[in-house]
Amino acid sequence: MRGKLWIGVLLFLLFGSVGLDALTPEELRNALISRYGRPAATEFVEVAGGPSATHLLMEDFHGKKQSLSLLLLNTKDLRWRLRVSGFARKPLATVAEQCRRHNALIGVNGGYFFISEDGAPLGTLRIDGVHLERSKMPNGALFLVDAEGRFGGIVPPGKDDPKRYANAIQCAPALMFGGKILPQHDPSRHPRTAVGIHPDGTLIFLVADGRHLNRAAGLTYAEMGELFAELGCRDAMNLDGGGSSTLYFKGCNPQDIFNYPCDNKKFDHQGLRRVASALLIEAAR
């Protein structure tokens, strides 16, 4: 562990409080501790009065050691906007490169793509009204963002027309809809990235490290669904995982990588994979 408690990293001018009620980092940590016990170590980083990320090194999460990063974004806070970033084919870019390209403060990896072929997205990838995907995906869920960068929902394909939104990322499986955990049939354990929405308007991004059994075993889909339910989410969906799982947070360390991406097979901050899409958080203009 990096051995520091990052509090109030100032990435730009202090905005102050906007007085909007939303899930706090303290409430999130307390909810996890009450269910899974105290972590062996905790780290925290935030934009002053804005998005925050918490890293928990868990000794006994369903009997496994886990390295979990959770990012909170208050979607009612108009100082922040979402951006869907991506590519129709190779060359691709890491989450860090995509954040720096758009001057975004925070980012996580997006949906599936044909990694061993041309890098084209699998499932809906819509950016500024343009579809970039090569192949459709009939299941999973859609993460919707409007033209102003506002969150539009996590919805099943076909239930809410994504064409009403300028931006969308699709991935699978869906983890929760309407406050109910969805059954999962794949018991495999890997690094994972996922996102859920709390009824108060807080987006919760989860990045679980993995493929390091003595430090980070990785999560199953069922465990992620249970975790989002414990945090009170209404809807949640899986994003791409494995070597793609990345949380970029500008200023959190010399590399700006908060989690431990595994594509270099080392438990460090340098194993980033080039990915076809990403969800970014930036200051509203």
Quick count: other Cβ atoms within 10 Å of Cβ 58?
22
Residue 159's pLDDT is 67
* pLDDT tens track, the chain, 285 positions: 443 333 333 333 233 333 456 899 899 989 988 889 999 999 999 998 899 999 999 999 989 999 999 999 999 999 999 999 999 999 999 999 999 999 999 999 999 999 999 999 999 999 999 999 999 999 999 999 999 999 999 999 986 565 679 999 999 999 999 999 999 999 999 999 999 999 999 999 999 999 998 999 999 999 999 999 999 999 999 999 999 999 999 999 778 999 999 999 999 999 999 999 999 999 997
- Say which residue the tokens 């203009």 belong to: 285
Give CA angle at 53 (60, 249), nearest 5°.
Answer: 125
Residue 7's pLDDT is 33
| Beta bridge partner(s), residue 168 | 126, 144
Residue 254's pLDDT is 74
Determine if the peptide bond prior to 91 is cis (ω within 30°).
Answer: yes
- In angstroms, the CA 274 to CA 71 distance is 21
- In angstroms, the CA 241 to CA 113 distance is 11
Residue 213's pLDDT is 87
Q: Which of 155, 148, 144, 157 lies closest to 279, judged by CA?
A: 144
Where would I find the H helices in 169-264? Answer: 221-230
Instruction: Specify whether the CB–CB gap between 65 and 106 falls below 8 A.
Output: no
Q: What are phi and psi of 31, to 5 degrees?
A: -65, -40
Q: What are phi and psi of 143, to 5 degrees?
A: -100, 115
Structural domain boundaries of the chain?
25-283
Residue 162's pLDDT is 57
Q: Which of 138, 112, 102 lies closest to 280, judged by CA?
A: 102
Check residue 254 and report its DSSP letter. T
Q: Which of 90, 72, 92 lies closest to 80, judged by CA?
A: 72
Check residue 107 and report its DSSP letter. E
Q: Which of 252, 243, 203, 240 lies closest to 99, judged by CA?
A: 252
- In angstroms, the CA 67 to CA 26 distance is 18
- In angstroms, the CA 167 to CA 157 distance is 14
Amino acid, res. 130: V
- In angstroms, the CA 111 to CA 279 distance is 9
Strands 80-86 vs 277-283: parallel, antiparallel or unpaired: antiparallel
Q: How far is residue 156 from each of residues 144, 174, 226, measured CA to CA in Å?
A: 11, 8, 19
Residue 22's pLDDT is 85
- In angstroms, the CA 108 to CA 281 distance is 9
